[in-house]
């Protein structure tokens, strides 16, 4: 039984990185903006018909400027560190269970 479609799992990662990439273009040096946009948009242009976001989460998780923006946003909104650690640990727990049960995540 499939919990969610592959595209929904991919969207949980890709959409926040796309938003952070938009902020990175506006707030960081132009070279970082070009790097992030190129690295995000290139995999999105070569889609596999059955699974459009097949490998995109693997590609966007390495985009450091997007995570700089996410860290800056968390600092400005004064999100407690324990809340960020809880979300990260919960995500790691879910993905670990899915991986152990041979569920294809991305």
Look at residue 86 in the predicted model and tell me its pLDDT. 95
Mean pLDDT by groups of 10 residues along the chain of 106 residues: 62 83 89 88 77 74 87 92 92 85 74
Give the pLDDT confidence score for residue 105 in this predicted structure.
67
CA 57 to CA 39: how far, in whole Å? Answer: 11
For residue 83, what are its two tokens? Answer: 């809340």
Q: What is the pLDDT of residue 6?
A: 61
DSSP result, the chain: --SS-HHHHHHHHHHHHHHHHHHHHHHS-HHHHHHHHHHHHHHHHS-BTTBTTSSHHHHHTT-HHHHHHHHHHHHHTT--HHHHHHHHHHHHHHHHHHHHTT----
What's the pLDDT score for residue 106? 64
| Predicted model pTM | 0.72
Each domain of the chain, given as residue ranges in start order, spans 6-80
């Amino acid at each position: 039984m499939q919990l969610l479609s592959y595209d929904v799992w991919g969207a949980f990662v890709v959409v926040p990185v796309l938003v952070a990439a938009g902020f990175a273009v506006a707030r960081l040096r132009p070279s970082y903006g070009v790097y992030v946009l190129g690295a995000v948009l290139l995999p999105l242009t070569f889609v596999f018909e059955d699974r459009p976001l097949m490998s995109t989460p693997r590609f966007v998780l390495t985009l450091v400027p997007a995570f700089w923006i996410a860290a800056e946003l968390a600092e400005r909104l004064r999100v407690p560190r324990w809340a960020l650690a809880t979300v990260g640990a919960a995500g790691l727990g879910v993905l670990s269970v899915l991986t152990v049960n041979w569920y294809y995540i991305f």
